[in-house]
Structure 1
Amino acid sequence: MKIAKAILIDPDRNLAYGTAAIALSLFVFAYSTLFGKVPILVYYAIWFPLVLVDYRRVLGDLPRTYWIVPFGVLACLSVFWSQAPGVSARAAIQLATHILCAFIAARTIGIRTFTLGTLVGISLVVLYSLAFGSYNYDPFDGDFSFSGAFASKNLLGFFCSIGIYFAFACIFVLRERALWCGLALICTGLAGYALIASHSATALITTIAALLVLIGLGGLTPFPPRTRKTLAIFGILVGIGMAAAAMALGGFDFILAAFGKNTTLTGRTYLWSQGLAAAANTPLLGVGYQAYWVQGFPDAERLWAEFYITARTGFHFHNTYIETLVELGAIGVLLLAIVLIRTSAGFLMRFLGNRNDVTARIMLGLLAMLLLRSFVEVDVIAPYAIGSFLLYYSAALLAAPQSRQATAEFGRPSTAWTLDAR
């Protein structure tokens, strides 16, 4: 039974199972709203049984994750003050189990397997959208954009961004060859076409930014640790300075104009003001997890009507921190910020200390994408969403025991992470 257990939970030996598990999970995240409850049950069936294989190795050293779980705990506790307790209870349970699945994935799936599974999953997601998707009219942009089988072009763009990013990582960081390199090129072509057709400026800009981070980190690898740290600090300061200068000189407006957008971000700034006004009424703990966008509540109904959301569901404030502030208050924002900042800082320290840590390098670029998107989208606080899965997978991976996949150059597996499956 040693081999049977290893092919399920050993990060260096479960390529087949891990690739399929990640691919199926991403497809569920994309289209669970289309197919009902069955895909969610499939998602749970992928990850939860691994606990029964070897619960100590799969669940890992849970006290090491003390800084990750408080946000989910707060979401669960918000039931006691929520303005829609039933909605908050259901959503909080979904979020908690979703986070647990990400924890299990972090303990059992190495970066190489995760990357290859993502390529397979994104390819399937985009192919489905190309086969069954459609163009939708955006009343704020004034044009038709390809949204695929999604309700939003921005969500399609997000999946495409992830596919392009991991395809780049597969070829230039992991240095895969033959079959996997070919899959990466196919994924790039499919995702690139869908991304352009979606007209999602957010997705395109953040994709470019994430790739630049990945390339920049690659440029630091030849240097010794002390030099890497100096150059990294210099690069971060220069990046912040350039961003501030661009904002001051109108560079942001120029970028938006290049994509046919205006400075209101097609209604986002108005939504932000409405969100801040709503948060002012319950600044500390919010109105409850997912308890604002509830049918029958006047403020939500008004905003749905103003933004032509006829389905009266699936909307948000297009800013992760404002959305969190409204739902879980300033405490929720603080707990979420801890996860984002500590995960990013932790992988940065790992990379600066070990130039061959490909996990840290790939995760840093991905986290850069999530951080940039957090100011204009809400990706990382919802259950059964690819953004939240990526964030909590990254955070749990940082706290998990490292396999050699994490540190070996080009991600070549070895036996450093051992499995006693007797």
Structure 2
Amino acid sequence: MKIAKASLVKPGENLLYGVFALTVSYFVFAYSGRFGQVSILLYYAVWLPLVLVDYRRALGNYVKYVWIFAFAIFALLSVFWSAAPGTTARAGVQYLTHVICALIAMRALDVKTLTLGSVTGAGVVLAYSMLFGVYHFDPLDGTVSFVGAFDSKNQLGFYASLAVFFCFSAVILLKQRRVWLPVCGVVGLLAAYCLYASQSATSVLTTAAVLGLTVGMQVFSLLPPKSRKLLFIAATIFGTITVIAAVYGGAIDSVLGAFGKDSTLTGRTYLWQQGIEAARASPVIGIGYQAYWVRGFSEAERLWEEFFIGSRGGFHFHNTYIETMVELGAVGLLLLTGLFLSGLFGHLKRVLTQQHGFESLVLFGISALLFVRSFAEIDVIFPYQIGSFLLYITAGKLTLPAPQSASTPTPMFSGDAMQPLAHPLAAGSVYPYR
């Protein structure tokens, strides 16, 4: 039986394959530590063969992606000055190939498929954790929380956050009904329970913040683009003043207290201080990608002992920018921050200028979630992680024309069709086969 190429690689016509591939990817990202290297090969198997099916559509023109690859390439090049060159070489190759798979997925999937595949993928991950999960005692704050089939409640919380966001996006933004409405209902309830049981303050707060931001941006769609921009500027100024007033008024301590946390964020402020001290050893180019948390290195061993990390692995500085500064210095930090901000503000620009950019609003929400979490977690600088996978998909979508109204679901509010918008970093629109 001959399978049409479009059913595998053409956005909008490969829903079944896209949902399957994303579900596999989510499960591998979540539990590759449990199932080993075979699961990683399965992840490669659902994306890399698309190059053989239609290499032009799957790859495109990689010259257009230089700004996207810059951080991954620099991470690999750090093997030449790394304190642990073997570790850096292996991790650098893994991260670069992971980025390639993410960009293949970006070109093969439209936003609808990405959203629905993420609903099923996150749902399967959470269901597995409910079936085989455990509770862990945290010696730092003395609490017992549900960690699922993960080693950390924050990872369970992250997948629950993604599940809530994508269920919201599928039902409210993309207006999916029929079979997807009950599916999103079940997955959303499962995610809400996991957020509650994990007691992950980071995940709960970031989920609430991003959902609120997304709803606010959706309300802006009631206005024409010009008025939308003015309202956004006014809301940003008011929001900034409100946040500053809340910080000085003690609201932060009240919020943390509601989650049983103190002002040290369960030792994270001390950990950040240690990371800043470590970054001073090589502030420009760092000590090498993933070359700090290496067994036998004195500082890593000391922090593992202080934070009761018996496994001596899977630990980090709980801040993306500090971790990057330690490993790749100011150069790596600049490249990663540029990638973050390009995705965040690039999709924000499309949301504010399109008549009904619900696809762009989904991508903006993903970018905002990853950005907000980056100050307290490490989601985007490791290979085989859902955070880095989504980061490169959202960044890569900026190299494609803005979604046309023909591919957009019926909007909640009436208005003109969307107009394509070129990527803000490029001179013109980039089309699939260029």
Match in the other structure for 1:72: 72
Moved more, 397-406 or 147-156: 397-406
Q: Equivalent residue for 2:200?
A: 200
Query: Gaps spanning 5+ residues in structure 1: where?
Result: none
Letter in 2 for 1:9: V
Matched, 1:50 2:50: yes
* Distance of 1:369 and 1:103 partners within structure 2: 20
SS of alignment partner, residue 399 of structure 1: coil
Corresponding residue number in structure 2 for 1:322:
322
1:396 corresponds to 2:390: no
Q: 1:32 to 1:254 in 2, by over 3 A?
A: same
Deviation at 1:418, TM superposition (A): 11
1:16-415 matches, cutoff 5 A: 16-402=16-402, 404=404, 408-410=408-410
Q: Distance in 2 between matches of 1:61 and 1:227?
A: 36
Kept in 2: contact 1:72–1:96 (CA 8 A): yes
The TM-score normalised by the length of structure 2 is 0.93
Structure 2 vs 1, CA of residues 70 and 405 (structure 1 numbering), >3 Å: closer, same or farther?
farther
Q: CA deviation at 1:64?
A: 2.1
Runs of 4+ that moved beyond 3 A: 401-407, 409-412, 416-420
Classify the secondary structure of the residue corresponding to 1:178.
coil
Contact 1:356 1:407 survives alignment (8 Å): no
Q: Secondary structure at the match of 1:4?
A: coil
Moved more, 403-412 or 88-97: 403-412
Kept in 2, the 8 Å contact 1:111–1:405? The answer is no
CA distance in 1, matches of 2:401, 2:227: 27
Work out whether residues 175 and 409 of structure 2, in 8 Å CA contact, stay in contact via their aligned partners in 1: no
Cα distance in 2, alignment partners of residues 393 and 11 from structure 1: 14
Question: What SS is found at the alignment partner of 2:281?
Answer: coil
Q: How far apart in 2 are the matches of 1:61 and 1:411?
A: 32
* Rounded Cα–Cα distance in structure 2 between residues aligned with 1:401 and 1:5: 22
* Cα shift at 1:239: 2.1
Give me the whole-angstrom Cα distance separating, in 2, the residues matched to 1:236 and 1:386: 29
Report the AA paired with residue 334 of structure 1. Answer: L
State the alpha-carbon separation in 2 of the partners of residues 73 and 411 from structure 1: 40
The residue identity in structure 1 corresponding to 2:304 is W
Higher relative contact order (CA 8 A, sep 6+): 1
Tell me how large the CA RMSD over aligned residues is. 2.0
Question: Could you tell me how far 1:400 is from its partner in structure 2?
Answer: 2.5
Q: Tell me how far 1:106 sits from its aligned partner.
A: 0.5
Are the structure 2 counterparts of residues 263 and 418 from structure 1 closer, same or farther at C-alpha, using a change threshold of 3 Å? closer
Q: Contact between 2:357 and 2:403, CA under 8 Å: does it hold in 1?
A: no
CA contact (8 A) 2:359 2:408 kept: no
CA distance in 2, matches of 1:352, 1:368: 15
Shift of 1:238: 2.1
**How many Å separate the matches in 2 of 1:68 and 1:241?**
34
Give the Cα–Cα distance (whole angstroms) in 2 for the partners of residues 78 and 411 of structure 1: 47
TM-aligned CA distance change 1:245 to 1:130, over 3 Å:
same
Contact preservation (8 Å) 1:318, 1:378: yes
Task: Please list the CA deviations of residues 307-365 of structure 1 after superposition, one character each: whole Å capped at 9, or x if unmatched.
Answer: 00000000000000000000000111100010011111111111111132222101112
Distance 1:16 1:399, change over 3 A: same
Quote how far apart the aligned CAs of 1:247 are: 1.6
